[in-house]
Every structure is written in C-alpha cells, then in structure tokens.
Amino acid sequence: MIPAHRKCLLLIVLLLLPMSRWESARAQSASQPGTPKPKSIPSDPSPTAAMNTSISNQLTGTWRLVAYQEKLSNGDTVNPYGDTPQGIAIFEPGGYVSVQLMKIPRVSFPAGYDRATAEQVKAVHEAYLAYYGTWAVDEGHSVVVENIRASNQPFLNNQITTQRYDFDGKRLSLRTVLDNHGDEHSILFVWDKIH
C-alpha cells in the first residue's frame, strides 16, 4: 500500500510529465527553420487611423491663447475676456486636458478682497475660465471631444463638449456650441502651439 503523500507526488509527476514533453516539443519545432511563427495582430494601416493619430499628435502639447470670441444667439459677437485675453491649454498625450484663460486688463479688488463688493467679486469670477478633464479626437466628425470634469464656471461642470478643429501650421482654431440654460451660443478659441 502506497502512503497518501506519495500518491499525491506520483499524481503530480504524471500530470506534469506530458506538459514538459509538450513544452519541449514546442520549443524544438519553433527553433527549426521553416516552422511558421504565430501571427500577431497587425496595426490598423488605414488612412483614417493614420490621420486620427496624426490629428492627436498635432493637438498634443501646450498652446497659448491668441483669441477668444463668443457669438450669441442673436448674432452679436462679444469678447467677454477682452480684446487681448491670456490663456493656456495643455493637451496631454495620455488624454488629459487643462485650460485656463483670463481677461486682460486683469480685474481686481481696488480696496482689497475683504472690502470687495458683490459686483467686484462677480466681475473677477466672470473674468476667468478654468477647466480640466479628458480629451479625444473623433475623426469621423472632425471634432475634439472634451469631457469636462470640473470648472470654475458651474454650467461647464460634468459637460461633454465637441469642438470642430482647424489647423493652420502651428495655429489651432476650436469652435464649439454651448447651451447655458437655454442660451445657446458658439465659442471660438484660437491657439498657437508653444510646446
């Protein structure tokens, strides 16, 4: 009679022996010339995939704001951040985006923050736009899709925006339409690539 621990050991050897023979045979056939090698999945060589990568590569980087305009539903064009706003947009290759822009000349509190009026606080708040989130290129619709996670402007929080892109050398124009509680208007960002 064979003890239980030896039965287990014998069973393991019997199970592993065919596996080691199979591994040995596989290694031997792989080393012989003329043996077909397993195929890997090829990358997508289509022009659409190449363009999508190309658009993403063009967009990735740091951008300086050149212009910002809003076209209101009544057709009027306004520059809510002034004629010479400053700003920066960072589109990371991993899909994260951060945008900040502010009105120039800067709005401030002449008597200090502690003595600011409600109108002054509102003016400072409205003179600055910041948001972050994720981005991706939708090549089929020629847009950049931004999933805004948070913004200092409450109507942008948790919004998904689509911005039609246009490249002119190192200049990027992004156009989008926003709906702020029924007030639909279009926005144009113009950026110059700095990195």
Strand partners for 136: 145
Return the pLDDT at 44: 46
Q: Dihedral of the CA atoms 166, 171, 172, 173 (nearest 10)?
A: -70
Decide: 127 and 81 in contact? Cβ < 8 Å.
Answer: yes
Q: Measured between alpha carbons, how far is 103 from 61 in angstroms, rounded to an integer?
A: 23
d(CA 51, CA 167): 13
Is 11 a member of any domain? no
Q: Is 155 within the bounds of a domain?
A: yes
Tokens of 86: 């400053």
Residue 27 falls inside a structural domain: no
What's the CATH number where 177 sits?
2.40.128.280
195 residues of the chain, pLDDT tens digit each: 555 544 443 333 333 444 344 344 444 544 555 544 444 444 445 444 444 568 999 999 999 999 999 998 888 999 999 999 999 999 999 999 999 999 998 888 888 888 999 999 999 999 999 999 999 999 889 999 999 999 999 988 999 999 999 999 999 999 998 776 777 889 999 999 999
The alpha carbon of 130 is separated from its chain's Cα centroid by a whole number of angstroms, namely: 15
Q: How many domains does the chain have?
A: 1
* pLDDT number for residue 53: 64
Residue 10 lies in a domain: no
Q: Can you give the residue range of the structural domain that contains 131? A: 47-193
Name residue, tokens 């009544």. 74
CA 165/CA 85 separation, integer angstroms: 20
What is the biggest distance separating any 2 CA atoms in the chain, rounded to whole angstroms? 99
Domain assignment present for 26:
no
pLDDT value of position 160:
93
In this prediction, residue 166 carries a pLDDT of 95
Alpha-carbon distance 76 to 87, whole Å?
23
What does R_g of the chain's alpha carbons equal in angstroms? 30
Residue 1 in any domain: the answer is no
Looking at residue 159, what is its pLDDT?
92
Residue 25's SS3 state is: helix
pLDDT confidence of residue 11: 37
